[in-house]
Amino acid sequence: MLIYQIYPRSFKDSNADGIGDLKGILEKLSYIVRLGVDTIWISPFVKSPQKDFGYDVSDYCDVDPRFGTLQDFKQLLNEAHRQKLKVIMDQVWCHCSDQHPWFIESRSNTKNSKADWFIWADARPDGTPPNNWLSYFGGGAWAWDTTRQQYYFHQFLESQPTFNLRHPDVRKAILQVGKFWLDMGVDGFRLDAIHTGFADPALRNNPARPKGMAVAPDVPKDIPQARQLRSNSEGHKDTLIFLEELRKLTNRYGALLLGEVGGENPLERAALYTGKKRLHMAYTFSLLKSKPDAASFAQTVAQAEETKNKDSQFCYALSNHDVKRVTSRWSEAGVKQEYAARTALLFGLSLPGTYCMYQGEELGLPEADVPFDKMVDPFGLAFYPKFKGRDGCRTPMPWSRIGSSGGFSSTRNPWLPFCEDHRALAVDVQERNKASTLYFTRRMIAWRKAQPALQGDGLRVLKTKGDIIAFERFDKKQRLLFVFNLGDTSANYKIPAKAELCDEASIGVQCVKNSLILRAMSGAVLTLKTH
């Protein structure tokens, strides 16, 4: 499966208010179809105060007016299905907005019907929070409520209280939300930060991260939370109860469950969370590092395939709305951005299971440099300038070279500034150039679908040195060898005799006798003799 992630705020604005919307997505569906992907994942568009841009929900069963109406979504859903695209909704089911009616009632007193729908705790005798848990967005993970005279737990912003998912009525309410959208015809859900839904019921402290131990891949190393092992604040085994209830629901509709899984040992956790009775697939932040590393990438792919549940798939991603764009991450050492963009695409499309592509990845967009006075991401604002947050990967999609907002909107002032560096990479520019990254993406997606070895899970990661990563993909009919140089200098790689280079799918390589010469940031595909 190939998934195309849409960040609706930045995809296409149809009404000139500077914010992308559902009608804008509808307008560009044919563009997505031409890419050759199977499924679109739409980031949150339900009602929200937008303090975390939709990941703080105030009404799970209605569309936020900024994005349109329920009727607009139904029209989009119907047209996507007509064009053979499946639609996955982003669902934020571990926390909501403090403006959600459920939380407003819960915080009103300790005796109401929803008093235990969130995680509340008394202060310690000295008035401090009940433990040392820290928020992803900085500072403590507990906020004091003057009405209840208790603290409530929040994994992210103070305005995003965490559900008490151990309460059966909470899970029942969330299942009703899922049923609402499944009855409408959605094809599945992407579950936001699903590992954060269940914490230690005894509220025990998190231990300090041992000196020299690597930071988990889903948090920047410079924030306070990176100093803890999040063994008690998230990832509790009770998560499995909730996942199994969700799977029973989606099985009735033949719908898909894709989970975002982070924290410590994310690949092992992803394997635990998936399977016949749990999620269909999961993705982690393991390949979303600041720069590519051949050894760690090889280990990640090997471990993901070795540990995954036999009844599930791993979903690989190199970009999304939470991290610096892959073109910039892979070209940090001075490599040309075009090389980085295309090599990353080939690498992602060569992996087993599902690949998830983020909007603009097909154009080779680099990270935008958003000045501080234009930043809006609360994560970036909290840690600037050491960490600039997520605005740089969320700027408006460049549809046209002309216009102040690059065809994204007719307004001059979209919600984030249009990146001038993206103008030369706009869709209309690349549509006129058959040597463009957009054309390359379409060719590679079509090529992937035509290769028997890439339709199954057959994979063997090979031992390599330096910046080279190599692996075989195979089935009974075909064996393919993939070799990538992820470094900033050229490299050689010895290949088997009678290996045939696939020129159409290779980037920046030469084959001389039994040796590949790979330029900096390049990739080769070779056909091997089957036995």
252: exposed, middle or buried (Cβ count in 10 Å: 0-12, 13-18, 19+)? exposed
Query: Does the annotation mark 192 as catalytic?
Result: yes
Catalytic residue among 192, 322, 362, 367: 192
Q: How many CB atoms lie within 10 A of CB 221?
A: 13
Backbone angles phi, psi at 260, to 5 degrees: -85, 120
Is 500 a known active-site residue?
Answer: no
Cα–Cα dist 375/380, whole Å: 8
Strand-pair partners of 120: 152
CA separation for the pair 244, 371 (Å, rounded): 44
Minimal CA–CA distance to 36: which of 323, 515, 445, 487?
445
CA 355 to chain centre: 11
Could you tell me which residues are beta bridge partners of residue 516?
493, 511
Helices (H), 83-195: 101-106, 168-184
Intra-chain end-to-end CA distance of the chain, in Å: 28
DSSP assignment of 11-76, as one string?
A: T--SSSSSS--HHHHHHTHHHHHHHT-SEEEE---EE---TTTTSS-SEEEEE-TTT--HHHHHHH
Residues contacting residue 510 through CB under 8 Å, at least 6 positions apart? 516, 517
Q: How many CA atoms lie within 13 A of 199 on its CB side?
A: 28
Q: Could you tell me if 517 and 490 are in contact, meaning their C-beta atoms sit under 8 angstroms apart? A: yes
Q: Among residues 260, 361, 362, 367, which one is catalytic?
A: 260
Rounded to whole angstroms, the Cα distance separating 313 from 275 reads 8
Q: Which residue has the tokens 């009855």?
A: 183
Q: How far is 447 from 454, CA to CA, in rounded Å?
A: 10
Residue 372: count other Cβ atoms within 10 Å of its Cβ: 10
Q: Cα–Cα–Cα angle for 397, 399, 400, nearest 5°? A: 130
- Whole-number Å distance between alpha carbons of 320 and 4: 10
Which DSSP category does 252 fall into? T
List, in sequence order, every residue forming a beta bridge with 461; answer none if it has no partner.
471
DSSP string over 347-359: HHHHSSSEEEEET
Distance, CA of 28 to CA of 11 (rounded, Å) = 9
Which residues have a catalytic role annotated?
A: 192, 260
